[in-house]
Amino acid sequence: MRAAETTVEARDVTGAVEPGAATVPPWVYLLSATIFVITTAEFMVAGLMPSLATAFAVSVGEIGNLIALFALGMTFGGPLVIALLLRLGVSNKDALLWLLGVFLIGSTLAAVAPSYAVMALARTLQGVTSAACFGIGLTLCAESVRTDLRGRAASLVLAGLMISPVVGVPAAAVINDLFGWRTSFWLIVGLTALCIAVVARRSRDPPAAHRSIWRPV
């Protein structure tokens, strides 16, 4: 059998076919950055507790509940969002963009929160959308590379999850010390907006991105 017939084709995020491509496309690193931002948003409250407690005139324990609310949003709201997207048949690309858009709204609400109640609502909204972002991000990752590179690509995406607690969370704490807690949240807003812009640009007509979410590959 000819070599050309045995070569596995890999598709990049623009929909181009790269015969025998042995490298992971930049799209995968973008997905990793997106997961990094989401995970940083989830856990950075741990480094901002004294500042948030003072700002909202509540106990440090109540500020800790903001992390729990994010996790509860992921646990209970995430599956409902996924079920809704599946029912509507939303494509991978559109689903990721819409979810990041809602996450951006939640992050902005957190940055301008005038009270603890508003901050709690913002954190819950962030959690609801982030759970689906993880799943769709991994799906897009798997569909953007050839079969034998999927494990490597998935590990790169999940690297954003692993790096966040040791880089993103401490960085947010330092920014809080220098410029205040709102600046830390505004940084999340800016990074999320950047991810949305790049996802919209880089996922121009990719076959994987236009499949319904979580379709088997």
Please say whether the beta carbons of 73 and 125 come within 8 A.
yes
What is the tens place of the pLDDT at every residue in 124-169? 999 999 988 888 888 888 887 788 888 888 888 889 889 999 999 9
Please say whether the beta carbons of 42 and 127 come within 8 A.
yes
Distance CA 51, CA 76 (A): 29
CA dist list (Å): 88 to 82, 85, 93, 129, 207: 10, 5, 14, 16, 19
**Mean pLDDT in residue range 164-193:** 95
Is residue 189 predicted with pLDDT exceeding 90? yes
Q: 182: which residues sit within 8 A by CB, 6+ positions away?
A: 111, 112
Distance CA 210, CA 139 (A): 12
25-210 homologous superfamily: MFS general substrate transporter like domains (1.20.1250.20)
Confidence of residue 22 (pLDDT cuts 50, 70, 90): low
**Mean pLDDT in residue range 23-31:** 83
Phi, psi of 17 (to 5 degrees): -100, 130
Please say whether the beta carbons of 25 and 145 come within 8 A.
yes
Is residue 4 predicted with pLDDT exceeding 70? no
The pLDDT score that the predictor gives to residue 207 is 47
Distance CA 49, CA 51 (A): 6
Distance CA 134, CA 91 (A): 15
What is the tens place of the pLDDT at every residue in 62-79? 999 999 999 999 988 888
Between these two residues, 84 and 111, which has the higher pLDDT value? Answer: 111
Is residue 174 predicted with pLDDT exceeding 90? yes
